[in-house]
Amino acid sequence: MRPTGVGESPVRVACIQFEPRVGEKEENLRRVLKLAQEAADKGAELILLPELSNTGYVFESRREAYELSEEVPHGETVEEWAELTKSRGIYLIGGVAERDGSALYNTSVLLGPTGYLGKYRKLHLWDREKLFFEPGDLGLPVFQTTLGRLAMGICYDLWFPETIRIYSLKGADIVLMPTNWVCIRDKVEEGRLVEALCVAQAHMNGVFIAAADRVGVERGQSFLGRSVVVSPRGRILAGPASYEGEETIYADLNLTDSRLKKMRTSLNHIIHDRRIDVYSPLLGYEGPHSAGKEPFQS
Amino acid sequence: MRPTGVGESPVRVACIQFEPRVGEKEENLRRVLKLAQEAADKGAELILLPELSNTGYVFESRREAYELSEEVPHGETVEEWAELTKSRGIYLIGGVAERDGSALYNTSVLLGPTGYLGKYRKLHLWDREKLFFEPGDLGLPVFQTTLGRLAMGICYDLWFPETIRIYSLKGADIVLMPTNWVCIRDKVEEGRLVEALCVAQAHMNGVFIAAADRVGVERGQSFLGRSVVVSPRGRILAGPASYEGEETIYADLNLTDSRLKKMRTSLNHIIHDRRIDVYSPLLGYEGPHSAGKEPFQS
């Protein structure tokens, strides 16, 4: 039984699913500002954009990625986003290509009514991202805001159970995930997989998960769409959005529902029931079977 | 690209979904033997039964649970099962109520062509099981067999990402899960959740997962059915079975597919890409937000 009613901490979340164009930073920025204004007009206080929403995704070279990158928070994109969130009194999370000296990061930025609040650098780089970006070096930060405790992950981070588990242990209410889910062969099968990942990770960890994906085909690479918002019980609250269309999905969340890790009318508690005594020696295990030494791993 | 073809290590797995009757041990044992014979007749070499398949689930008291329990491997159920697996040259995994001195465990037993091979004691006790059983004290063992590397989990263990992660790191090819998934309110919604858990856990960890559930209503508690077999890619290979019917589902698995953790034609490796450097200090975290001290946790 929920001790207090729905509506304690109501927040309208919007996931903006759209199609950035690779290399067209000005146009991407303009489009995001327009779509975010529209979402704010509809009452959204927490707006989520896809991964690398200002640059596009399929870089031809590290040089191209570098030229499209900018500093955070002192780059054009984040400064424009900050103007928006300050003028509208909202929060916005979106992906950018971040430059730090000569290093590049696949970064998600958090902005609020006071402007820039923080950033997250993608820990798990997908495929050719490994050629362009550095692995994230800022850990898994949880940001205390007036809405609640916000955390960020990017795309492939969702494939790692540790990501959401650690955020849950650190008290995150919602994990906001800018993504560029690629479609490899079968959009229906792969759409079903990412939905299962969002549902299972939210449910196992008792946190909200919101994912904003991009759509379209870029230099031969198509993307999945299927942006989604899931409750701490694993219930789908918005989406999955379409596979190919630009659309914004909305969900009204009581963010503090994430703090009830106890299953109602039972002796279960999904965090207290963990067996850390058993896990501790094993979770960092790097034995023969985990180290790529199998005959089938070539 | 798979370096070698399908059929390297083909195994026919059968999940027997049936309805044990609480307290009717002889009848439950007789039914299991009949259903397992039928599965073996259809070529199954690896047969999975539900949790507590010899006793039923909803005990009225610890005394009742104790009276129904038996020693492992020197109890009637396991001895009868061993006769079956020896005579048919097959493997069988099933749940029993295990007695060890005055302690009770919710246990899964592994038998093979040579008889008893080992056991697993449920680590994560669900709800009122905490009143009757001791938490498992045998860790997360992986058994090397002639079929491949087999591991076991029981029901609520699936809700913990650590369970399947650790089995994957220890080299398990398949995690066999006897379950008694209870239905709390909405069988369709809860069926969708357990399916998402099986799919996501298999996919994130690159292991096969097979779950055999029970059906029926016992002392007012109904069960979900929906037994399922999932591939290391997260593809459903058999099931989900019905919500209410007794049925056996079959899947022909190439068990060594689990050893290809690398995604084909990419630079991804779902185990090597882990960021243990980031996780290590955090996975055992027991800070204020993970310790049940939230205002909403009562």
Over the stretch B107-161, which tens digit does the pLDDT of each residue have? 999 999 999 999 999 999 999 999 999 999 999 999 999 999 999 999 999 999 9
Residue owning tokens 């146009």: A27
pLDDT of residue A283: 76
Residue B283: is its pLDDT beyond 80? no
Burial (0-12, 13-18, 19+ Cβ within 10 Å), B34 = exposed
Of B162, B149, B156, B196, nearest in space to B179 by CA? B156
User: In the annotation, is A51 catalytic?
Assistant: yes
pLDDT at residue B2 greater than cutoff 60: no
- Cross-chain residue pair B267–A124, CB shorter than 8 Å: no
Backbone phi and psi for residue A155, each to the nearest 5 degrees, phi listed first: 50, -105
SS (H, E, C) B26-92: HHHHHHHHHHHHHHHHCCCCEEECCCCCCCCCCCCCHHHHHHHCECCCCCHHHHHHHHHHHHHCCEE
Across chain B, mean pLDDT equals 92
Instruction: Identify the CATH assignment for B10-264 out of 3.40.50.720, 2.60.40.10, 1.10.10.10, 3.60.110.10.
Output: 3.60.110.10
Report how far residue A146's alpha carbon sits from residue B181's, in angstroms, rounded to the nearest whole number. Answer: 39
> Does any CB of chain A come closer than 8 Å to the CB of residue B201?
yes
Contact criterion met (CB below 8 Å) for A241 and A15: yes
B265 band by pLDDT with thresholds 50, 70 and 90: low
Q: What sign results for the dihedral spanned by CA atoms A176, A182, A183, A185?
A: negative
Contacts of B269 in chain A (CB under 8 A): 292, 297
Instruction: Tell me chain B's radius of gyration from C-alpha atoms.
Output: 19
| CB environment B35-68: b (16+ within 10 A), e (fewer) | bbeebbeeebbbbbbbbbbbbbbbbeeeebbeeb
pLDDT (tens digit per residue) in B194-252: 999 999 999 999 999 999 999 999 999 999 999 999 999 999 999 999 999 999 999 99
Quote the tokens at residue B280.
């290590």
Element (H, E) at A81: helix A76-88
pLDDT tier, A272 (very low <50, low <70, confident <90, very high otherwise): confident
> For B181-201, what is each residue's pLDDT tens digit?
999 999 999 999 999 999 999
Q: Is A273 on the interface with B (CB under 8 A)?
A: yes
**Side chain identity at residue B155, one-letter code:** C
> Is residue A47 scored above 70 in pLDDT?
yes
The closest alpha carbon to A243, from A19, A51, A30, A57, belongs to A19
Distance from CA of A221 to the nearest CA of B (A): 14
Place of tokens 């909305």: A250
What is the percentage of chain B residues whose pLDDT exceeds 90?
A: 82
B13-29: buried (b, 16+ CB within 10 Å) or exposed (e) per residue? Answer: bbbbbbbbebbebeebb
Range list of β-strands (E), A113-257: 115-121, 142-144, 149-152, 174-178, 182-183, 208-212, 217-218, 221-223, 228-230, 236-238, 247-254
Q: Closest Cα to residue A55, out of A32, A77, A22, A26?
A: A22
Reported as a single tens digit per residue, the pLDDT across A48-80 is 999 999 999 999 999 999 999 999 999 999 999
Give the angle subtended at the CA of B270 by the CAs of B267 and B271, to the nearest 5°: 115
Q: What is the pLDDT of residue B34?
A: 98
Q: Model-level pTM?
A: 0.93
Catalytic residue list contains A195: no
A274 closest CA partner among B161, B88, B217, B223:
B161
Token pair in block for residue A25: 């930073």
Q: Is B244 a catalytic residue?
A: no
The pLDDT of residue A288 is: 64
Give the CA distances from residue B177 to residues A45, B51, B163, B186, B201, in Å, rounded to whole numbers and listed in that order.
Answer: 43, 8, 11, 22, 12
DSSP structure string for A223-282: E----EEE-TTS-EEE----SS--EEEEEEEEGGGGG--BPTTSS-BTTTT--HHHHTTT
Segments making up each domain of chain A, as ranges: 10-267
Fold of A10-267: Nitrilase/N-carbamoyl-D-aminoacid amidohydrolase (3.60.110)
Preferred mutation among A140, A159, A231, A266 to probe B, highest tally of B CBs within 10 A:
A159
Q: List the single residue in A270, A272, A278 with the smallest CB-CB distance to B159.
A: A270
Express as a percent the part of chain A with pLDDT over 90.
Answer: 82
Summarize pLDDT for A88-140 with one digit per residue, the tens: 999 999 999 999 999 999 999 999 999 999 999 999 999 999 999 999 999 99
Angle, alpha carbons B295-A144-A97 (nearest 5°): 145
Quote the CA–CA distance of B156 and B282 in Å, as a whole number. 23
DSSP one-letter code for A156: G
Residue A292, pLDDT above cutoff 50 = no
* B141 touches A: beta carbon within 8 Å: no
Which chain A residues are closer than 8 Å to B275 by Cβ? 123-124, 135-136, 160, 162
Rounded to a whole number of angstroms, the distance from the CA of B48 to the nearest CA of chain A is 24
CB-based contact B54:B29 (threshold 8 Å): yes
Instruction: Say yes or no for a CB contact (<8 Å) between B296 and A125.
Output: no
Q: Which of B2, B184, B205, B275 to mutate to test the interface with A (most CBs of A within 10 A)?
A: B275
